[in-house]
A and B are shown apart, each in its own frame.
Chain A
Amino acid sequence: MSVLIYAENAGGTFKKSIFEAVSYAKAIADQNNTTLTAISIGQVSAAELASLGKYGAQKVLNVSGDKLKNFVNQAYASIIAEAAKKEGADVVVLSNTFSGRGLAPRLGVKLEAGVADGAVALPEQSDGKFRVKKTAFSGKAFAIVELNSANKVIALIPNSYKVVETGGTAQVEDFAAATKESDFKAIIKEIVRATDKVSLPDAEIVVSAGRGLKGPENWGMIEELANLLGAATACSKPVSDAGWRPHSEHVGQTGIAVSPNLYIAIGISGAIQHLAGISSSKVIVVINKDPEAPFFKVADYGIVGDAFEVVPQLIAAVKEYKASA
């Protein structure tokens, strides 16, 4: 038995969420006294691949090739499943990214494995049981899922496990996996990336605004604050419904669930559906002119005040703090 982690790259490099997933997978390998292998698919430099060793991967399987330059769900799933079989891995760990969420179920079927998506903690293993804590009810609760199958697939939520440097080194090996023609039916025509923006699902700080901002023309200060903090921007549902912001920024029960270290909510009431998607944020700051806004009940810090006065002051204060730091 061993553990396999799929190290997804973003444009040739690994993000922090992958180091978290490698650290997490290493801890599972340690729990079971076994080894950790990472698999990377696409075009990643040798040095970048070897860097996974720092977080506990002993071996890195490198799969590359023209057809595999970009993420192809079916083909990637076939390759990861084949690597799992070759390595004798009975636990496969992924990061719960958009791609990870497409891969995990396909891998589950290929490996006849129970799948724990949305995992937020290390598995509890005792008496031969394997139990994983995952988010449920859009963050309003957690469920403890027992995986009864011999093989297991776990998708870890970004920001829910710490990065642990073990200081090890990894052996990088090329891995040639067989793929079928039918794995490539979906064809990527175009990838549009907003390179200057922090991506919302794995952001450590999120600056979010709601209908209290009155209109899309007022988002300049939200973006400025986010830029200063290295944060991603987000919004409430009515804001994206009105077309003020793209749907990809909508957080909540029917939007994206986020778990940043810091969530700043500006002019958002704190409806139960909004809170559902942000409740696992570590620290919540609320700025709202209504002292009765339900958001204050879940906030760690709050300012009762008009966003149009408070946010510019906040921007100035952050600038001052940055200048003195």
Chain B
Amino acid sequence: MKILVCISNVPDTTTKITFTDNNTQFNTNGVQFILNPYDEIALSRAIELTDGGKGTVTVINVGEVSTEATIRKALAIGATDAVRINAKPHDAWYVAYQVAQYAKTNAFDLILTGRESIDYNGSKVAGMLGELLDIPSVSIIKKLDAGDNEATVEREIEGGKEILTIPYPFVAGTAEGVAEPRIPNMRGIMSARTKPLVVVEPVDIKTFSEIISYETPAPRGQVTLVAADDVAKLVNLLHTEARVI
């Protein structure tokens, strides 16, 4: 089985988010970038599915040269090889389009993405890829079992889950539960240095969206503390002051 895993390079989860240039630029100063946690899950499942010579896992990232540390991490975790499309990931459409171009000329049985990236939270790349390649896409999956001709996936729905079978090829956006994230071991880290990382130039396309500025949430007021032996007062405040019950 040939699996393609889309990975993105995102600010570490502990990052305090700030902006510069009159709130038009994300402040990357001092920010550590990591492999998107959901992509880590996708990658880990892909490696499980191909363990023992049952296939290959290619990771693909649309990013500038600075993302190569993250790509090497994915190789250290166990990907077979990597592709970097040499461009700033303008938006989800731009990323999906570049990945689709690559996937069209390199037939994959399965394409995995994370359910969303933790920076822009779009959850769009999987669906856009599905549409661009005219294959099924399924978002926010919690479980992925791969059979010979089709896979069985569990998709989250409001208040429950849905179990589907999907023939290859298809695209899936993975969430927690699909796999335990793998941690690179020494051998992985050593071999990552010599695994192939191909750099491909992007195709020129028009984009449809642009972030023009950012806002930070309004600061919250002071907490009103209620004594632990006066819980009725809390209920009263929630009713009369906050008006939420």
Residues of chain A at the chain B interface (Cβ within 8 Å): 10, 15, 70-71, 73-74, 77, 97-99, 101-106, 108-110, 112-118, 131, 133, 135-149, 182, 185-195, 197-202, 205, 229, 240, 247-248, 250, 253-255, 257, 261-262, 272-273, 276, 279-280, 282-286, 296-306, 309-310, 313-314, 316-318, 320-321
Contact: B226 with A136, CB < 8 Å? no
- Of A189, A303, A317, the residue contacting B228 (CB under 8 A) is A303
Contact: A191 with B157, CB < 8 Å? yes
CA distance A189 to B229 in the complex (A): 51
Q: Which residues does chain B contribute within 8 Å of A108, judged by CB atoms?
A: 93, 124, 127-128, 131, 208
Contact: A117 with B130, CB < 8 Å? no
If A205-B244, A302-B226 touch, whether A317 touches B120 (CB-CB below 8 Å) is no
- Of B138, B158, B164, B212, the residue contacting A145 (CB under 8 A) is B212
Contact: A192 with B209, CB < 8 Å? no
- In this complex, which of A10, A105, A182, A240 has the most chain B Cβ atoms within 10 angstroms of its Cβ? A105
Q: Within 8 Å of chain A (Cβ to Cβ): is B111?
A: no
Contact: B136 with A302, CB < 8 Å? no
Contact: A318 with B138, CB < 8 Å? no
Contact: B223 with A302, CB < 8 Å? yes
Contact: A272 with B228, CB < 8 Å? no
Q: Which residues does chain B contribute within 8 Å of A286, judged by CB atoms?
A: 223
Q: Which residues does chain B contribute within 8 Å of A138, judged by CB atoms?
A: 118, 121
Contact: B208 with A102, CB < 8 Å? no
Interface string of B56-92 (1 = CB under 8 A from A): 0000000000000000000000000000000000001
Q: Report B1-52 residues with CB < 8 Å from chain A CB.
A: 11, 13-17, 19, 37-38
* A-B CB contact pairs (8 Å), 14 listed: A71-B157, A98-B155, A108-B131, A117-B123, A118-B121, A140-B17, A143-B211, A144-B212, A149-B209, A193-B159, A255-B176, A301-B238, A303-B227, A317-B231
Q: Within 8 Å of chain A (Cβ to Cβ): is B215?
A: yes
Residues of chain B at the chain A interface (Cβ within 8 Å): 11, 13-17, 19, 37-38, 92-93, 96, 118-128, 130-132, 134-140, 142, 152, 155-167, 170, 175-177, 207-217, 220-221, 223-229, 231-232, 234-239, 242, 244-245
Contact: B125 with A105, CB < 8 Å? yes
**20 extra interface residue pairs, beta carbon distance < 8 Å, beyond A142-B215, A186-B165, A306-B228:** A98-B139, A98-B156, A105-B126, A108-B128, A114-B208, A115-B208, A137-B120, A140-B16, A143-B214, A145-B209, A201-B158, A247-B175, A254-B176, A262-B238, A262-B244, A272-B13, A296-B223, A302-B223, A303-B225, A314-B234
Q: Which residues does chain A contribute within 8 Å of B142, judged by CB atoms?
A: 247-248
CA distance A187 to B161 in the complex (A): 14
Contact: B14 with A229, CB < 8 Å? no
Q: Which residues does chain B contribute within 8 Å of A147, judged by CB atoms?
A: 208-209
If A105-B124, A105-B126, A133-B215 touch, whether A301 touches B223 (CB-CB below 8 Å) is yes
Contact: B136 with A73, CB < 8 Å? yes
With CB as the reference atom, state the residue of chain B lying closest to A10: B158
With CB as the reference atom, state the residue of chain B lying closest to A185: B136
CA distance A112 to B217 in the complex (A): 31
Contact: A144 with B211, CB < 8 Å? yes
If A101-B123, A113-B208, A248-B161 touch, whether A301 touches B215 (CB-CB below 8 Å) is no
Q: Which residues does chain A contribute within 8 Å of B229, judged by CB atoms?
A: 313
With CB as the reference atom, state the residue of chain A lying closest to B167: A185
Q: Which residues does chain A contribute within 8 Å of B138, judged by CB atoms?
A: 73, 102, 186
- Of A106, A141, A187, the residue contacting B131 (CB under 8 A) is A106
Q: Which residues does chain B contribute within 8 Å of A321, judged by CB atoms?
A: 232, 235-236, 239, 245
Q: Which residues does chain A contribute within 8 Å of B223, judged by CB atoms?
A: 286, 296-297, 299-302
Contact: B157 with A300, CB < 8 Å? no
- In this complex, which of B13, B213, B220, B244 has the most chain A Cβ atoms within 10 angstroms of its Cβ? B244
Contact: B152 with A199, CB < 8 Å? no
Q: Which residues does chain B contribute within 8 Å of A240, judged by CB atoms?
A: 176
With CB as the reference atom, state the residue of chain B lying closest to A314: B231
Contact: B118 with A254, CB < 8 Å? yes
